[in-house]
Amino acid sequence: MKTVMGFKKKITPALLVASALAGSNVSTASAATLAEAISDGKAGLDLRYRFETVDQDGASNDATASTLKTRLNYATGDYNDFSAFIEFDDVMALGDVEYNDATGSATAQTSYPVVADPEGTEVNQAKISYKGVDDTTMTLGRQRVIFDNARFIGNVGWRQNEQTYDAFTIANTSLADTSIVYGYVTNVNRIFGEASTKGDIDTETHLVNIAYSGLEAGKLTGYGYFLDLLDSPAASNSTLGLRFAGGTKVSEAAKVLYTLEFANQSDYSDGASTIDADYSLIEVGGKAGGVTAKLGVETLSGDGTYAFSTPLATAHAFNGWADKFLGTPANGLVDAYVSVGGKVSGVKLVAVYHDFTSDTGSTDYGTEFDLLAAKKIGNYTVLAKYASYSADSFATDTDKLWLMGQAKF
């Protein structure tokens, strides 16, 4: 098995647990301190129930998914600047499975629309962190990785089975108003679960994200994501980009908001020479009286052969909650959208409208209307969410409804 930096390429939970117990040159004299660090740790419990329905033209049946995610975790205290964290997730369907869980398995119920919440029990995170150097944190193991708004690197947190990374990451904040993060990823644990025929993503990926927040007008971020995809080498690519996001007060009660972002994607390692695409985002808006409104245009270019790809993104959060554009069409995607959000009696309300067209050829793909209402009460959250996609020349009409309750302890 290939090794990287002295570690086996695959970082297994067994290896991590052994490392956590071993600590760093632990002697008999310090065993009591280690035991105290473990006993003084903190346990967590997260229960998330979700009911999801999907009405999709062309599917033989409507999908109905009733699922419960149970998450258990434990974080140790610090010992010689080391700490450890382990987390287990179990996803189970309550009642009959009347949905396609997207695993590609023989039991995937393909006569139903997709609800990508397969059943299973997994180690979601298992990591060791070291904070012995000022303003620097190093983490080894299976971990959650999110950069910026998760447009390129994210955890797909909406789905019941989270996406996590077997990785080494190092974050430094020693420079004023600056954060520098580097990550080396050997495996991406996808949302489909270990039993899925789609499998994980076997990779040798380098992630670099540098952000500067010392500007009064906003935060400037530069990034480089270099994906060497070992199971599909022709898809390997690098993305280099720059993002600026912020806001400016125009009065005590009002603020102008803006985001500008551009990235270029090209071939990397054994990637195909046809990989050449751009990403851009222009978003403006305002916040006043507790209401936030935004207008934006997001473009993922495509030339009919290759389109801008985001395989590690939290894609559900972008281009409509109906998930019709989790992969970019070959002719690219232009998403013109408007959103309005605020709170009424402590209830978060959001409405979003999308108009989708192609980047090449200006083909009308379709439109989508999304609604969300959520309320948090102490450790509990309740949520209702709706998405309605109306197809023109891409995919099919789709309506999705979610009802969710969550408790965290």
CA distance 70 to 333: 36
Band (pLDDT 50/70/90 cuts) for residue 195 is low
Share of the chain above pLDDT 90, in %: 84
pTM: 0.89
- Provide DSSP, 305-321: S-B---TTS-GGGSS-T
Write the secondary structure of 200-240 as one string of H (helix), E (strand) and C (coil). CEEEEEEEEEEEEEEECCEEEEEEEEEECECCCHHHCEEEE
H or E segment to which residue 189 belongs: strand 178-189
Sign for the CA dihedral angle at 48, 51, 55, 61 comes to positive
Domain borders along the chain are: 3-408
**For residue 132, what pLDDT is reported?**
83
- Predicted local confidence at residue 30, as pLDDT: 32
- What is the structure's pLDDT at 13? 39
Spatial separation of the C-alpha atoms in residues 170 and 135, rounded to whole Å: 10
For residue 325, is pLDDT > 80?
Answer: yes
**Distances 345 to 45, 97, 290, 341, 373 between C-alpha atoms, Å:** 28, 37, 12, 13, 12
CATH number for the domain running over 3-408: 2.40.160.10
* CA-angle at 263, arms to 162 and 394, nearest 5°: 65
